[in-house]
Amino acid sequence: MIRLPLVLFFSAALFSIGVYGVLARRNAVLILMSIELMLNAVNINLIGFSNLWKDLAGQVFALFVIAVAAAEVGIGLAIVILVYRNRETINVNEVNLLKW
């Protein structure tokens, strides 16, 4: 027996911490870490509502989100390493080739 708002508040806290991290950090790897925090917040919501509605779809979709997050981290880090190899920096403020 657990109160659902507790679960939702935890997830809201993790999500806003992740938003702060994405906005405040300038190192690309740390931004990816903050994105992971936000994806985890989504997963907690999915598990909580899967318990509320007694429907396993929430847990299945949490597994899908974990798989997509793994793919995202793999591609993201490959891009970061490629940027570092070409520009000698992964500071997102300095990677502004496409900025007008």
For residues 43 and 67, what is the distance between their CA atoms, to the nearest angstrom? 12
Q: Which residue has the tokens 């981290």?
A: 73
Q: Looking at 34, 97, 98, 100, which residue binds another protein (CB under 8 A)?
A: 34
| Shortest Å, Cβ 7 to another protein | 7
The phi, psi pair for 3, rounded to 5°, reads -85, 125
Rounded CA-CA distance 85/24 in Å is 24
Residues of this chain that bind another protein (CB under 8 A): 1-10, 12-21, 23-27, 29-30, 32-34, 36-37, 40, 43-44, 47-48, 50-52, 54, 56-57, 59-60, 62-64, 66-75, 77-82, 84, 90-91, 93
